[in-house]
Chains A and B, each alone.
Chain A
Amino acid sequence: DTEVTQTPKHLVMGMTNKKSLKCEQHMGHRAMYWYKQKAKKPPELMFVYSYEKLSINESVPSRFSPECPNSSLLNLHLHALQPEDSALYLCASSQILMGYNQPQHFGDGTRLSIL
């Protein structure tokens, strides 16, 4: 069982819908990450939170809005997505030691389909 829990596992939404992806970890990690992954491709970094503050935004469109309510939770709010946003969205967490290079623990992802 993964120590990073993501919900929902699958999500189908229309381009005008608003939905949220959720991620939770209880390992005491103070860095949390959102990645987007297409089939047979590596994860692409979207956002990094450090001590509940956004520290890296990889020029992600504003239709993706991250939120870190506390040290255990990470959300990704979705609005007006495009079909090309269909992908597996992965959450990860890690310790912080001289940056964000520590081994990461990944959740199993949310499979998102945009109609």
Chain B
Amino acid sequence: TQLLEQSPQFLSIQEGENLTVYCNSSSVFSSLQWYRQEPGEGPVLLVTVVTGGEVKKLKRLTFQFGDARKDSSLHITAAQPGDTGLYLCAGAGQAGTALIFGKGTTLSVSS
């Protein structure tokens, strides 16, 4: 069974701080997706990483896919209150199976 371990589970920081969220597995994934879910809304796709070692940037967010395609990280620079939400990583596993979600990271950024 493929599992995704996401850490930390909860993160509470001040505006302007940097943070990193990790998503790890012992299994190889063909791709990995990151979603953000704000209160009262559904998850919204932020990025998909496909190639081992790939780095993608979305404004202050930097996403990295591990060389072996078993792990990924999300780094936020100078966090803002608008970054508050639940961050989910989701891995594309074996053909015919649905996405595997990590347990999520609840981020709270206070001003």
Q: How far is the CB of A104 from chain B (nearest CB, A)?
A: 7
Query: 1/0 per position for A1-20, CB-CB distance to B under 8 A?
Result: 01010000000000000000
Query: 1/0 per position for B20-34, CB-CB distance to A under 8 A?
Result: 000000000011010
Query: 1/0 per position for A55-90, CB-CB distance to B under 8 A?
Result: 010000000000000000000000000000000001
Q: How far is the CB of A105 from chain B (nearest CB, A)?
A: 7
Query: 1/0 per position for B78-89, CB-CB distance to A under 8 A?
Result: 000000001010
Kindly state whether residue B68 has any CB partner on chain A within 8 Å. no
Residues of B within 8 A of A98 (CB): 95
Size range of the chain B interface in the assembly:
20 to 34
Residues of B within 8 A of A41 (CB): 103-104
If the complex has contacts A40-B86, A43-B101, are A101 and B41 also in contact, measured as CB distance less than 8 A?
no
**Docked pose: A108 CA to B31 CA in angstroms:** 25
Q: Do B101 and A103 have beta carbons less than 8 Å apart?
A: no
**Docked pose: A4 CA to B43 CA in angstroms:** 11
Q: Do A103 and B93 have beta carbons less than 8 Å apart?
A: no
Query: 1/0 per position for B30-44, CB-CB distance to A under 8 A?
Result: 110101000011111
Q: Do A105 and B86 have beta carbons less than 8 Å apart?
A: no
Residues of B within 8 A of A105 (CB): 45
With A40-B86, A102-B92, A104-B45 already in contact, 11 other A-B pairs whose C-beta atoms are closer than 8 Å: A40-B106, A42-B101, A43-B43, A48-B98, A100-B99, A103-B33, A105-B45, A106-B42, A106-B43, A106-B44, A108-B41
Residues of chain A at the chain B interface (Cβ within 8 Å) = 2, 4, 33, 40-43, 45, 48, 56, 90, 92, 98-109
